[in-house]
Amino acid sequence: MLKEIPSYRNIKTRVKSIYIGGGTPTIYAPSEIKKIVEACYETFKFHNDPEISIEANPITLSKDKILELKEIGITRISVGVQSLSDRILRILGRLHDSKTAIKTLKDLKEAGLKSWNVDLIYGIPTQSMEEWKKTLKGIVALSPPHLSLYSLIIEEGTYIQKMISKGILKPAEDEGFEMYKWAIGYLKSHGYEHYEISNFAKPKHRCIHNLSYWENSYYLGIGCSASSFFRGWRFTRGTNLQNYRGFSEQIRLNKKEQEKETMMMGLRLIEGVNKKRFQKRFKENIYTVFGKEISELIKVGLLEDTGKEIKLTERGIMLGNHVFERFV
């Protein structure tokens, strides 16, 4: 990575965020992470006060390590807590327990970082509504600036997938929908802004890096298997160390493909897709490109036109995938 980063030195675009993640980079010492941050500063030009995030699991953080990460320039830490039920954590195969998670979050709060996030999962087989409510209430009591709530995706080869295939566990269906619906109301009542389908933030704590994805802006992925979207090109580094120097994917997206992605990603934002911004970017009126799809989705109550944006309705938020597939 330290060799790859300088290869982009000719890019003049100013950088507003760095996101160190896609796993658990906090298994490394802060001194190693510092090398990556410094290499980025030596290579790129930055906006003032950039967001520098890192992903972590509770067992990879300590009070001292959090302070060291802050010292090297990390402004935001995202912790994969997932649940405060030890029973659910065992089903998920997590290595931490609820006591460790709570201690980590208290340490984060005391460290005085600019921001921090907690990842939680709902819709887990056998998870009850009471367990979900207890988890969310326990997390909100610690007042994290940002929360990300994800419905469980059953990945091939995981413990849960094996248990489901054997008939020991059943996938959650309606339960997950009800958990998500309850969480939206609960978090709003506690001062959180629901700004993207899965994301909630206290005022001025939206994730700058992830907003770039949802606005379909350019980003560079650095590292093995990392994907990028830059100047209309999508490219992915080699998937193992043997072919790291090459690319496993290089695709030039045409205008229509970029328009579709802009709609699919932008509609994840609660504010929706800004019509003027769409026109400025693609030199076309949004209704000229997607008039049929938008009109039909408005008719069935999944989209609305506010005059300024095309956005999901409350019903549309619950049925987002049905909306997004219309723009594939």
* Domain-terminating residue out of 212, 237, 254: 212
- For residues 47 and 97, membership in a common domain is answered with yes
Q: Same structural domain for residues 180 and 256?
A: no
- Tell me: do 258 and 116 sit in the same domain: no
Structural domain ending residue among the three candidates 159, 185, 212: 212
Check whether residue 29 and residue 97 sit in a common domain: yes
**What is the domain-level CATH number for residue 115?**
3.20.20.70
DSSP 8-state secondary structure symbol assigned to residue 14: P
Strands in the chain per DSSP E: 15-20, 46-56, 76-82, 115-122, 146-151, 193-196, 199-201, 227-230, 233-237, 247-252, 273-274, 303-305, 309-312
Residue 304: per-residue pLDDT? 98
Domain of residue 256, CATH code: 1.10.10.920
Same domain, 44 and 148: yes
pLDDT computed for residue 155 by the predictor: 81
Q: How many C-beta atoms lie closer than 10 Å to residue 12's C-beta? A: 7
Same domain (yes/no): 226, 201: no
Q: Are residues 169 and 232 in the same domain?
A: no
- Domains in the chain, number: 2
Helices (H), 203-244: 208-214
> How crowded is residue 260: how many other Cβ atoms within 10 Å of its Cβ?
19
Instruction: Determine the pLDDT at residue 163.
Output: 84
Distance CA 43, CA 247 (A): 21
Whose CA is closest to 175, among 265, 80, 268, 88?
Answer: 88
Angle formed at CA 115 by CA 109 and CA 118, multiple of 5 degrees: 70
Which residues form the domain of 162?
5-212
Averaged over successive runs of 10 residues, the pLDDT of the chain (328 residues) comes to 95 95 92 97 96 97 98 98 96 94 98 97 95 98 98 84 86 86 98 98 97 95 95 93 90 97 98 98 98 98 98 96 94
Residue 104 and residue 233 in one domain: no
Tell me: do 16 and 144 sit in the same domain: yes
Which SS3 state, helix, strand or coil, does residue 3 take?
coil
* pLDDT of amino acid 175: 86
**Burial call 72-84: b when 16+ CB within 10 Å, e when fewer:** bebbbbbbbbbbb
Contact 113, 68 (CB under 8 A): no
Other Cβ atoms closer than 10 A to 164: 15
Per-residue pLDDT at 254:
96
**Which two structure tokens, joined as six digits, stand for 168?**
């020991």
Among 167, 188, 212, residue at a domain's last position: 212
Q: Which of 235, 234, 239 is nearest to 224 (CA)?
A: 239
- pLDDT, residue 151, reads 94
pLDDT at 171: 79
Sheet-wide strand order for 273-274? 273-274, 309-312, 303-305
